[in-house]
Amino acid sequence: MVPPAIMRGDGAMTPLIETLELGKRFGSLVAVDQVSLRVEAGEVLALLGPNGAGKTTTIRMLASILGPTQGWVRIAGLDTVAHASQVRRQVGMLTEHHGLYTRMKAMEYLAFFGEIYRLRPESVEERAYSLLDRLGLSETIELRLGAYSKGMRQKLAMARALLHDPAVLLLDEPTSAMDPESARLVRESIRGLRSGNRAIVVCTHNLHEAETLADRIAVIRKGRIVAQGSPEELKREFLGSPIMELRVAGSLDGAARLLPHGATLRETGPNWLRFQAEDPETVNPAVVRAMGMAGIEIVTLSEIGRSLEEVYLSVMQSERSN
């Protein structure tokens, strides 16, 4: 039941998920502190952080399972405390632990949740079959859930979260218990769920998953967001400008001296050099021109891939040193 995008008075769209200085304390333990997030419709945000960082507590507050002790959360413009039940109707949540009823079968299980969401039985059946098929579970509908493998259980839990076609999808470690093939299937499903009307938050400590799924990543440590942005923005912020590698035919022969302004030499080899380009769009053509004028034949000019892992480790290291 995806609601139409909500238009504010000033003509701007209300984000589907919005938090301001969100905090949660359990006695003296601060689980979440000053978390401000904004996820628009059509966007996927990955909450990335180590175990115990506060990801699950944050997601539980987004789902209106836990109330904040500080700040607020709005889902589709609704406050999660004042309109808890309405908020939960807009949210589909894949919990970290699938928590299935093992004596049930898949269709019965989904029908139970369909009943809770007061969906019409015929539409539940249709939707359930479609989801089970999409998640590769259609062969297993005659099995009791107790006979399901971990991956199958996780996929069924995913189907449960999607059953009512929620506007906000919260996925807590969606592929944690899965074999590589199932994990890939689920990741593809998540990518397929991206729509103009839906916001998705994925909690994970799987960096590859975060990078491949998310438009934006928020790194959380000890309950606080310590970095936030698109993967590219984060790389730029924490690892600096992109590194380019130039490979030439023959030896370099002083090519390093020809690098234009805005390109900083980092490493050299017998027939290659690496430079950091502040603005690759202007620097790279200048490099190509300079080499051509010097008669140096270019074999390749490409960006050195930098992983999110480097970003993550850099963020964590700088936080620890702080």
Q: Which residues bind other proteins (CB under 8 A)?
A: 1, 26-27, 60, 63, 65-67, 85-86, 88-89, 91, 93, 95, 97-104, 112-113, 115-120, 123, 127, 157, 160, 164-165
* Closest separation in Å from C-beta 158 to other proteins: 11
Nearer to other proteins, 37 or 93 (CB): 93
* Closest separation in Å from C-beta 194 to other proteins: 18
- Helix or strand (DSSP H, E) at 17: strand 17-26
* Residue-wise burial string across 115-131, b where 16 or more C-beta atoms lie within 10 A, e elsewhere: eeeebeeeebeebbeeb
* Closest separation in Å from C-beta 164 to other proteins: 6
Nearer to other proteins, 81 or 265 (CB): 81
Q: Nearest to residue 170, comparing CAs of 264, 91, 244? A: 91
Say how far apart CA 185 and CA 194 lie, in whole Å.
Answer: 15
Nearer to other proteins, 130 or 230 (CB): 130
* Closest separation in Å from C-beta 155 to other proteins: 14
Say how far apart CA 218 and CA 216 lie, in whole Å.
Answer: 7
Nearer to other proteins, 9 or 99 (CB): 99
Let me know: does 150 contact 177? Beta carbons within 8 Å.
Answer: yes
Angle at 236 between CA 232 and CA 241, to 5 degrees: 120
Nearer to other proteins, 88 or 216 (CB): 88
Nearer to other proteins, 62 or 258 (CB): 62
229: exposed, middle or buried (Cβ count in 10 Å: 0-12, 13-18, 19+): middle
Q: Nearest to residue 34, comparing CAs of 44, 23, 45, 24? A: 23
261: exposed, middle or buried (Cβ count in 10 Å: 0-12, 13-18, 19+): exposed
Which residues does 74 contact at the CB level (< 8 Å), separation at least 6? 14, 17, 18, 19, 80
Let me know: does 293 contact 234? Beta carbons within 8 Å.
Answer: no
* Closest separation in Å from C-beta 304 to other proteins: 43
Nearer to other proteins, 54 or 231 (CB): 54
* Closest separation in Å from C-beta 111 to other proteins: 10
* Closest separation in Å from C-beta 95 to other proteins: 5
